Structure 1
Amino acid sequence: MTTTTRRMTLEEYLDYDDGTDTRYELVNGELAEVPSESDLNNLIAVYLLAEFLQLIPVRLLRRGTEVVVNGYRTTTRIPDLMVLTEDLAAALSGSKRSVVMPDMPPPALVVEIVSPGTTNEARDYRYKRSEYAARSIAEYWIVDPQQAQITVLTLVAGLYEEAVFKGNDRLISATLPNLDLTPAQVLQVGDSQ
């Protein structure tokens, strides 16, 4: 991941265009290149999207939408999948760029699919966990193909309570109470290519 050393404001970041199709996040005020997702991560995200579509309207689902989170300096994240609240969908309606700004309601749920490597694990399990909690995101899923598990974090009194699901455990989600899905189903999607 390439990172700049020049600090940017949120406004500078939102106006930034280097003339390429490179994706960036703003991490503590610094521009950080976001590498392409693996094919497996994309398959898992699309599979979850298809499952979620059976339970909630398409207008409440997003891929590629950024969320501004709290941090030492401004940070944005691009979750692999996001479930919006009705209020957030209304706030985003008509926006020039699909970014959940600090003055908007938080998403109901964000999903991150962990890429291999200790840097990626630290980002998803540690940094994003505290950033999403500070942003008051009610539920955060960490889908980890390497560990063959899905961690569902539920916000309680400002901190996440963690439940780890493996194999044929039925996922329990406050945001999607009627979800009938197991980690095995989600993580084996790559085997059916």
Structure 2
Amino acid sequence: MTPALRQLVTFDEFVARYPHNTLKRYELHDGVVIEIPPPTGDHEEVIGFLALEISVEIRRLKLPYFIPKTAFVKPLESESAYSPDVLILNQPNLVNEALWKKESTVSLAASIPLVIEVVSSNWRDDYFIKLARYEEIGIPEYWIVDYAALGGRRFIGNPKQPTISVYSLFGDEYQVSQFRGSDCIISSTFPELNLTAEQIFNTGL
């Protein structure tokens, strides 16, 4: 029997069919609607901790940034839309975002100084798909927070261990720095951030 083909949808169809006010989360990957696995408590604690720490730093430095509750990152010329775990937006540049007012969607690197994904069971999306797409957009900094060491050994070492991978854009390509244990996170977006990997990992324990 020939397997049924998935019906592809456009971004416009996606935002019309899958409203924000639902208990489920969805993303669009090249026209395919993906349901995001329900988060665990540990996963949500790590997200909440990072959002709070970064918000404090934004306020301390009086930066024109904020963290939206729900928003999409859409690569230009692509039927995709990603919903990052923590998304930092540069508010002054949102006037240049054609999809922001009606669809809470951004596409320009100048609007997105930093994006963070906290790894769950669909870790391949973070390490393969989103890494490539965020690099393509030109987002200056991308964190992959793998607090449960779920990612492949090629990414977090063998034996696997909890790792924060910080991808920083140099030219048009990402270069990665990794942090574990008592390592202090080095961020080009927040160079004065005083936060270790284990502080982030331990918040969900």
TM over 0.5: yes
Identity, in percent, stands at 29
Superposition map of 1:3-152 within 5 A:
5-17=6-18, 21-57=23-59, 60-69=66-75, 73-91=78-96, 95-100=101-106, 102=107, 105-116=110-121, 120-147=122-149, 148-152=162-166
**Conservation of the 8 A alpha-carbon contact between 1:26 and 1:76:** yes
Opposite residue 70 of structure 2, the aligned amino acid is G
**Conservation of the 8 A alpha-carbon contact between 1:138 and 1:155:** yes
Distance 1:79 1:17 in 2: 16
Distance 1:33 1:180, change over 3 A: same
Q: Deviations over 1:60-98 (max 9, x none)?
A: 112431110257x51111110011123344556972332
Opposite residue 138 of structure 2, the aligned amino acid is S
Opposite residue 8 of structure 1, the aligned amino acid is V
Distance 2:100 2:174 in 1: 32
For structure 1, the 5+ residue unaligned runs are none
Distance 2:94 2:30 in 1: 26
SS at match of 1:168: coil
Q: Report which of the two has the higher share of strand.
A: 1
TM-score normalized by the length of structure 2: 0.80
Instruction: Report the RMSD for the aligned CA atoms in angstroms.
Output: 2.5
TM-score normalized by the length of structure 1: 0.84
Give the one of 177, 180, 184 matched to 1:170: 184
Opposite residue 9 of structure 1, the aligned amino acid is T
Opposite residue 24 of structure 1, the aligned amino acid is Y
Q: Deviations over 1:138-160 (max 9, x none)?
A: 10000001231111000111110
Distance 1:103 1:155 in 2: 14
